[in-house]
Amino acid sequence: MHIICTTLNAKYIHTNLAIRYLKAYAQPEFDVELVEYTIKDPVLNIVTDLYRRKPDVIGFSCYIWNIEQTIEVVQLLKKVHPTVTIVVGGPEVSYDVAYWLERVPEFDYIVIGEGEETFKQLLTALERGEDVANIAGIAYHQNGKAVINPQRNKINLANMPSPFRFPEDIPHLSKRVTYVETSRGCPFSCQFCLSSIEVGVRYFDREKIKEDLRYLMKHGAKVIKFVDRTFNISRSYAMDMFQFLIDEHVPGVVFQFEITADIMRPEVIQFLNEQAPSGLFRFEIGVQSTNDEVNKLVMRKQNFEKLTRTVTMVKQGGKIAQHLDLIAGLPEEDYTSFRKTFNDVFALRPEELQLGFLKMLRGTGLRHKANEYGYVFMDRAPYEILRNNVLSFHDIIRLKQVEDVLEKYWNDHRMDETIEYIVTHLFDTPFDFFQSFGTYWDEQGWARIGHQLEDLFRRLYSFLQTIDINDLPIVEALMKYDYLRNQKQKPRKPWWDEKTDKHVRAHVYEQLSKQPHLLSLTEKELFKHTVVEMIPFDLPHYLQTKHVRRCDMAMIVYFNQTTMKAETYFLEVDTN
């Protein structure tokens, strides 16, 4: 019996942990072939590839991001290969099971919840031609009627086999994100999250996890992401794992964790700030909302003061990048309240701030209470909200505009000094800048077309020209600084029209020649590998103090061909 487990990942760099657990658990009785695609792959290409592999059974791992494409694949497969047995599982089909059986009759079996033991029992029954009626945790059709068997008891995670020891995975470890699970379940009850449904937290065997991590690092894994819903729920467990990773990590490997920031003790952060190598760890922190009343409505416990302490201490340590999440559309959080939430969190200056929109996931408490809050949402995955009783669709559109420019101009770190100046000096709050610019961006039609790096600078400058500000020359200089310092080569065509007079440039080069300790280059090298721009203030002084001291200054950017990095030098110059 030829068995395939597959899924459609959101991106090529992702890997699916679930199908690897299914393969590991099915061994040695069954040899499962793993095949992964992405949601961007043409459906017919996926069907063709699966058909050519001549499977008897195909298991699909289903999520909100791939369910609709998965259904298309399954329906086409059944047309060209009617005898193949289709098994689906995963969070998207584990709830409203009767709905899925009715909507997609091509699903032969649905595995409900934790699937390792259920899938193996189902394979055994299929191979032997036995009745599946007594297999817990499956749903299927029988004589035209839906049969939904009770869900099985939870698996003992301590006995789970490793999902990482497959030779075919080794060539891909350095190119993709590797997901690791050290626990299942979540101690919290946030009503918008599927993890709230499972009671309690269960742990895998700690020493086995460490052996897996050693194996992954030895074979080239570069980005390892822990998928535990709250990695630091047990302080002793988290500390043990942090210490292990610090002691045994391979240089160049990055570990990512989802943590709950307000329960992290200061001594843990101090330990990480002192002991962890820079760049080894990355934290993802779900803030969602800073409105206490909103959090209560979704049964979310959060102390924003303690969360702020954690994020601030980590940032001051300078070793761990932080990604903070917000959710727009939670109950009773209107546009004004969300503006405050955004500004509260942006004040922490996280390296990344993600603005997401509430999704009414099947099985969650909030979906069951949708009518109570007037939710209108997409009928099909990802079930994103369109409006509720305090947030109109117009408000949603405006927040989408914020999301668009936030991603391009803050999270991508293309112009950090520029954006910091703008949100600090030119607008009442950071949110107001991102909203104003996002609206302008959308009105220009830029949301529907592609862009190069230079376009991003030109478009921001175009927006700034539409508002009444006296600081435009200051911002323009910061934009040039941000643009040039992130280049590896002297740009052939920068985003601005170069205005530096050749006589001024010659004067600057003459001044440089008198200060060889700054930059010692031949005249030919200067012209070939440097850019000179005149700016109206003391930029080095500003970078240190954030205070603007106006003067005529030359910014000289040298593109070092050895290091492939830009080096920036400044000279105060009399241009008269």
What confidence score (pLDDT) does residue 502 get?
78
Q: What is the spatial distance between Cα 332 and Cα 295, in angstroms, rounded to a whole number?
A: 10
Q: What is the structure's pLDDT at 520? A: 78
Q: What is the mean pLDDT of residues 419-430?
A: 97
pLDDT in tens, 475-495: 999 999 999 999 999 998 999
Cβ–Cβ < 8 Å for 57, 35: no
Listed by start position, the domains of the chain span: 3-149, 157-389, 392-469, 472-572
Q: What is d(CA 559, CA 564) in angstroms, rounded to the nearest whole number? A: 7
pLDDT in tens, 22-31: 999 999 999 9
Cα 194 from chain centre = 18
Q: Is 358 left (phi over 0), alpha (psi -120 to 50) or beta?
A: beta
pLDDT at position 327: 98
Q: What is the DSSP string of 37-85?
A: EETTS-HHHHHHHHHHT--SEEEEE--TTTHHHHHHHHHHHHHH-TTPE
Neighbours of 564 (CB within 10 A): 10
Q: 32 - beta bridge partners?
A: 3
Largest CA distance in the chain: 94
How many other β-carbons are positioned within 10 Å of the β-carbon of residue 409? 23
Phi, psi for 536 (deg, rounded to 5): -95, 20
Phi-psi region of 15 (alpha: psi -120 to 50; beta: other; left: phi over 0): beta
The string of DSSP letters for 557-572 reads EEEETTTTEEEEEEEE
- The verdict on domain 3-149 having CATH code 3.40.50.280 is yes
Cis peptide before 382 (omega within 30 of 0): yes
Full-prediction pTM beyond 0.85?
Answer: yes
pLDDT on residue 111? 98
Would you say 250 and 220 are in contact if contact means Cβ atoms under 8 Å apart? Answer: no
Q: Given a cut of 90, is residue 505 above it in pLDDT? A: no
User: CA 547, CA 476: separation in Å to the nearest integer?
Assistant: 16
What mean pLDDT is predicted for residues 5-34?
98
Structural contact between residues 373 and 330, judged by C-beta atoms closer than 8 angstroms: no
For 101-118, the pLDDT digits (tens) are 999 999 999 999 999 999
Which residues lie closer than 8 Å to 178 by C-beta, 6 or more apart?
Answer: 15, 164, 216, 221, 223, 224, 225
**What superfamily in CATH does domain 157-389 come from?**
Aldolase class I (3.20.20.70)
Confidence band of 196 (pLDDT split at 50, 70, 90): confident
Percent of the chain with pLDDT over 70: 100
Sorting pLDDT into bands at 50, 70 and 90, what band is 575?
low
Which residue intervals of 97-224 are DSSP H helices?
97-103, 116-128, 206-218
Question: What pLDDT is recorded for position 526?
Answer: 82
CA 35, chain centre distance (Å): 23
Closest to 285 in 3D by CA, of 262, 258, 312, 303: 258
Confirm if 442 and 401 have CB atoms less than 8 A apart. yes
Give pLDDT, residue 576. Answer: 59
Q: Supply the Cα-derived Rg of the chain in whole angstroms.
A: 28
Tokens (6 digits) for 179:
């997901």
Whole-number mean pLDDT of the chain? 95
* Per-residue model confidence as pLDDT tens digits over 441-462: 999 999 999 999 999 999 999 9
**Two tokens, residue 366:** 């909030």
Summarised one tens digit per residue, pLDDT across range 347-360 is 999 999 999 999 99
147-167 mean pLDDT:
96
| C-alpha dist (Å) from residue 136 to 126, 156, 231, 467 | 15, 16, 30, 64
What pLDDT score does 334 carry? 98
Query: What average pLDDT score do residues 310-319 get?
Result: 98
What pLDDT does 500 receive?
73
* pLDDT > 90? residue 504: no
User: At 8, is the pLDDT very low, low, confident or very high (cuts 50, 70, 90)?
Assistant: very high
DSSP-assigned letter for residue 488: S
Average pLDDT over residues 532-546: 95
pLDDT at 509: 82
Q: For residues 177 and 225, is the Cβ–Cβ distance under 8 A?
A: yes
One-letter amino acid of 362: R
pLDDT over 90 (residue 524): no
